[in-house]
Amino acid sequence: MRPFQFHSPSNAAEALQKHSRDQKTHYLGGGTNLIDLMKEDVERPDHLIEVADLPFKEITQTANGGLMLGATLNNTETANHKLVRKNYPLLTMAMLSAATEQIRNMATNGGNLLQRTRCPYYFETSMPCNKREPGSGCGALNGANSKSALFGWSESCVATHPSDMCVALAALNAKVHVGQADGSSRVIPFTEFHRLPGDQPEKDTNLETGELITGIELPESEFPDHYYYYKVRERSSYAFALVSAAVGLQMQGNTITKAGLALGKVAHKPWKLENVERYLEGKEASLSTFEAAADLAFEDAQPLSKNEYKIELGKKTLVQALVRAAARS
C-alpha cells in the first residue's frame, strides 16, 4: 500500500473542507472496498479522510412519511432496523444478501453506493481498464466478459455495478442527500445518482468531487407486503450476483396496482425497469404476465461475446422474484 496521510475530522464541515477536491483525496467509510483496492494498488490516494464516525448514524422518519437512513450507519444496523424491516423489507432482504455479517458491520450506507465494480480488469493492474486508467482500453470488451453488462455499456467500459442494496433503492425510488463544501446540500434521485460509462468510465456517479453523502431518503412505504430480492450467484452465500432482481408490488386481490422493479449486475448502474413497472400496473398476477414482463425487461439487451446466457438467466430471475413477491400474503 502506498503512503497516505490520515485525517479524522470531528464533523462534516471539517471533512468537506479537508477534501482537496481532486482524485488524491478519498473519504474513508467502512473501508471494505477502498482498503482492499489500496492493497491491490488500484486506488492510490495521498489523503484519507475518515468519515465513518461522523454523526449520520440515525434512522429518522421524514415529514412526508418516509425514512432517512444516515450515511454513516452500517449496513447491518440499517437492514435490521425495526422500521426498515417493517416498511421496507425489500431493502432489508437485498442488503442481507450482500457480503457477510463482518463486512456489513463495517460497510456504511454511503459507502455501499460508492463501491467500485468487480470487473477483473479493474482489479488487475497489469491489464487495460479505462475505469482504473483512462485511455488504457477496455480489456473486458472482447475479453473475459461473462459477468459484464447487458445494458448501457460503451466501447470504453462494460463493467457492472456490484451493489445489492442499490438495486433495492432503485426499485424503491430512493433519493440521495449530499453535502457540499460551501455548506449547502442537494438531493439526487436514485436513478440519477449512478451513471452509464459513456466515454468517462472512471466516473461511477454524478457526485461532484469532494461532495459527501449524508443520507439516503426513502419515500413513504409502498411495498411492505409483496416484495422479493432474488439473487443468483455462483454459490449460495457470500458472492456477488450474476444477476439479481428487486421486486416490490402493490396488489388488490390478484391485481397488481403498482410495481417497483430493478435489476442488478446487468449495467454500470442499478437497472431501473420503469417501462415494466408501467406494464404490470392493472395486470393480473400470473406466470404468463410475469414472463411477458421479463421479455419486455430484456428487450433491449445487448450481449457481449460471453454473457448472452445472462439474458435467459435474468428473465428467469425476474420471473422468480415476481412470483415470490406476488405469493407473499
**Which residues of this protein are in contact with another protein, per CB under 8 A?**
1, 3-6, 8, 28, 30-32, 35-36, 39-40, 48, 50, 52-53, 76, 79-80, 85-86, 89, 92-93, 96-97, 99-103, 105-106, 224, 231, 237-238, 328
Least distance between another protein and beta carbon 69 (Å): 16
Closest distance of CB 208 from another protein, Å = 26
User: Closest separation between CB of residue 44 and another protein, Å?
Assistant: 12
C-alpha cell at 141: 470488451
Q: Which of 164/204 has CB closer to another protein?
A: 164
Q: State the nearest-atom distance from the C-beta of 110 to another protein, in Å.
A: 16
- In angstroms, what is the minimal distance from the CB of 19 to another protein? 17
In terms of Cα–Cα distance, which of 272, 310, 278, 316 is closest to 295?
A: 316
CB 277 within 8 A of CB 169: no
CA distance 251 to 235: 33
Length of the chain: 329
DSSP symbols for 74-120: BHHHHHT-HHHHHH-HHHHHHHHTSS-HHHHHH-BHHHHHTPPP--H
Q: Which is nearer to another protein, 101 or 220 (CB)?
A: 101
Q: What is the distance between the alpha carbons of residues 163 and 109, in angstroms, rounded to a whole number?
A: 11
To the nearest whole angstrom, how small is the minimum distance from the Cβ of residue 102 to another protein? 5
Indicate the residue among 72 and 130 with the shorter CB distance to another protein.
72
Q: Specify the pairing of strand 47-50 against strand 185-189.
A: unpaired
Q: Give the nearer residue to another protein in terms of CB position, either 104 or 272.
A: 104
Cell numbers for 34:
477502498
Phi, psi of 242 (to 5 degrees): -80, -45
Give the residue among 155, 299, 285 at the shortest CA–CA distance from 225.
285
- Kindly state the smallest distance separating residue 288's Cβ from another protein, in Å: 27
Of 53, 54, 50, 81, the C-alpha closest to 68 is 81
> By C-beta, is 19 or 177 nearer to another protein?
19
User: What CA–CA distance (Å, rounded) separates 34 from 130?
Assistant: 18
Give the residue with the Cβ less far from another protein, 84 or 138.
84
Residue 76 CB, nearest approach to another protein (Å): 7
The beta strand positions in the chain, using DSSP E, are 5-7, 25-28, 47-50, 59-61, 67-70, 175-179, 185-189, 212-218, 226-232, 243-252, 255-264, 271-272
Looking at beta carbons only, is 43 or 130 nearer to another protein?
43
Nearer to another protein, 157 or 174 (CB): 174
